[in-house]
């Protein structure tokens, strides 16, 4: 059995390779052991969500790919991938980075909730959202391939079709707050907004995270596993995954809905036991 490296060995190795330090991988048991309750909860939640996902095929007889259930299955796959990625990051103490994925998962949850309550409208908005995204991508291609006349001609042809499709519809692209409200996710949106200020975007608060204040009030580098910050980000990540899983269960009438209810009650108890401001 391999012995986990000491704190000093890991710190020395991370001063060279950062989070790519080979020793950090061997240090994971120490990090998980610091907060076993959250890692255990996340694994149980993940197992339930994975079971629900596997029980529902992406293609179902009589259903088109963009109908409610097939779309929900793909959205849950995205949610699971983000959730698992965030937990892998937390095993390495990458708290801010895990928050970025949790933030993305709230967005997936908003779509699943909207799809649950208003499937026809949600699918139309999901499609128009892709058209707006595609237009943005192709406008970027115009700059990337400015010196390639053949590629530019292809891009312009695609843009013409995309813009014509957008102009034919009266459906407007939803902002994230409007999307959350459409799926009755107001409370979840509040936590999403908190993550917007601490993860994903380059901001004063997110960059201050990498400053270390020494006793003499001088500043230095802070770059290493944040073990103390794990419960907060694990809570965000599980909160977002619960939103996704509960919405999916409602759409598909999944048999694991009762288990999810128990996990939700457990999550509420865990979050209430956290210090005030722990999710801020």
What integer is the mean pLDDT of 180-192? 92
- Residue 226, SS3? coil
Two tokens at 146?
């400015």
Residue 54 predicted with pLDDT over 50: yes
Lowest mean pLDDT across 112-116, 131-135, 218-222: 218-222
Burial class (CB in 10 A: 0-12, 13-18, 19+), 135: middle
Which percentage of the chain shows pLDDT scores above 70?
87
Query: How far from the centroid of its chain's Cα atoms is residue 96's Cα?
Result: 12
Structure-token pair, residue 141: 């291609």
Query: E strands of the chain, at which residues?
Result: 211-213, 219-221
Split at pLDDT 50, 70, 90, the class of 238 is very high
DSSP 145: T
Query: In the predicted model, what is the mean pLDDT of the chain?
Result: 87
Which one has a higher pLDDT value, 71 or 274?
Answer: 71
Residue that is written with structure tokens 């020395």 in the block: 12
Check residue 19 and report its DSSP letter.
G
Does position 49 have pLDDT exceeding 90, yes or no? yes
Band of the pLDDT at 255, cuts 50, 70, 90? confident
Please return the burial class of 19, using the count of CB atoms within 10 Å of its CB with bins 0-12, 13-18 and 19+: middle
Query: In the prediction, which pLDDT does 14 show?
Result: 81
């Amino acid at each position: 059995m391999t012995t986990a490296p000491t704190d000093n060995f890991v710190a020395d190795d991370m001063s060279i390779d950062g989070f790519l330090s080979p020793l950090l991988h061997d240090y994971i048991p120490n990090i998980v052991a610091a907060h076993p309750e959250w890692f255990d909860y996340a694994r149980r939640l993940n197992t339930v969500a994975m079971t629900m996902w596997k029980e529902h095929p992406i293609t179902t007889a009589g259903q088109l790919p963009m109908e409610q259930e097939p779309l929900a299955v793909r959205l849950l796959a995205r949610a699971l991938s983000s959730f698992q990625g965030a937990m892998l990051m937390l095993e390495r103490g990458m708290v801010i980075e895990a928050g970025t994925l949790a933030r993305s998962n709230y967005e997936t949850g908003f779509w699943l909730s909207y799809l649950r309550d208003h499937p026809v409208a949600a699918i139309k908005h999901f499609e128009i959202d892709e058209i707006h995204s595609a237009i943005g991508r192709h406008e970027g291609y115009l700059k990337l391939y400015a010196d390639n006349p053949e590629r530019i001609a292809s891009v312009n042809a695609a843009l013409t079709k995309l813009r014509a499709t957008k102009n034919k519809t009266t459906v407007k692209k939803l902002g994230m707050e409007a999307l959350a409200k459409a799926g009755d996710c107001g409370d979840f949106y509040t936590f999403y907004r908190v993550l917007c200020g601490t993860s994903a975007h380059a901001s004063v608060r997110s960059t201050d995270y990498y400053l270390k204040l020494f006793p003499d009030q001088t500043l230095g580098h802070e770059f290493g596993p944040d073990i103390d910050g794990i419960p907060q980000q694990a809570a965000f990540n599980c909160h977002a995954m619960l939103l996704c899983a509960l919405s999916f269960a409602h759409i598909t009438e999944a048999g694991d809905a009762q288990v999810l209810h128990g996990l939700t009650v457990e999550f509420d108890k865990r979050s209430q036991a956290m210090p005030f401001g722990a999710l801020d």
